[in-house]
Amino acid sequence: MDTNKLIPLLSDMAILVTVVEQGNFSKAAIKLGVTPSAVSRQISRLEDALGIKLLQRTTRQLALTESGTLTFNYCKQMIESAEQAVNASSSTTSTVSGLLRVAAPKSLANRVLRPLFVEFLKCYPDIQLHLKVTDRILDPIHDGVDFLIHINDNPIEALVNVKIGRSEQVLCASPDFLANHVLPTHPDDLKDLPCLCLGENMSDSRWRFSQKNQKTTVQVTGSYLLNHSEMRRDAIEQGFGIGSLPDYIAQQGISSGKLIPLLKDWRLQGNYQGDICLQYVQSKYLPNKNRIFIDFMKQKLRGIQPNS
């Protein structure tokens, strides 16, 4: 397509980005200060010009088609490039500004990331940080976030992944509990001891362990089931049983002597552990504020996470 035919489509491409980020025509129209019908016409014009279907439209929601997703990513890069061009005059200064939208799980955000976000904002006061704290893994495009932080050894393949740390589950008990029960030296010993399970599904009471080439699965039981890590830490400290905690939750209790790590030669397998992933949509022109955020988080998490 030559330049003369391409130029009229640039505004339509910008409209597409706004529609996808806002989630529907009405919200996009409000943001753009036009009518929903005008937005719909521009999307239809773009589809006709490209000869593809960009959006699947229902009465309640919009969804990108496979071709639409590819087109959206390029259009998003176009908008980011335009923003870079507009801000080029200030690119030589030390000022970093703009909005960053970050999603992170509750426990990690509260115990590890919160002080880092505060420090980041103090270092870059012209950046506006919008934090979405949720244990649900969001879609950066449809949920409108620039960065997705989560703990997972299987990051989302469609997104760029930056490993910024590592978290493992630690099996713990309180000193008082161990004073009244036999110290477990092998996973099989847990069969006869009260344990704290997550209670999220039937398999949560089947604890899987590995040690070099050895693997074993133990069926555990207990009277207290809870999937909140800080509440589970309190229950362990009060002697309700043996339980697992993310290392960043267990660390303070271990240092103070309120928690004793168990079976340190064995690795407890399962959810809520793995690489701390910082993921975002691939873009050829990553805004400066995004690059600075990535570098900041990599540097700070390296010093905090013991296994990173």
* pLDDT score of 26 more than 80: yes
pLDDT at 202: 83
The residue-averaged pLDDT of 139-148 equals 88
pLDDT at 212: 87
- In tens, the pLDDT along 59-86 reads 567 889 988 999 999 898 888 878 767 6
* pLDDT score of 123 more than 60: yes
* Mean of the per-residue pLDDT values of the chain: 88
Domains annotated for the chain, with CATH where assigned, are: 3-86 (1.10.10.10), 89-158+280-304 (3.40.190.10), 169-268 (3.40.190.290)
pLDDT at 88: 56
* pLDDT score of 93 more than 50: no
Q: Which of 127-136, 186-195, 265-274 has the lowest mean pLDDT?
A: 265-274
Q: How far apart are the first and last CA of the chain?
A: 48
Q: What is the pTM of this model?
A: 0.66
Q: 91 vs 13, 26, 29, 127, CA distance in Å?
A: 26, 35, 31, 15
- In tens, the pLDDT along 185-216 reads 999 999 999 999 988 888 889 999 999 889 99
Q: CA angle 286-308-227, nearest 5°?
A: 95
**Total Cβ atoms within 10 A of residue 237:** 19
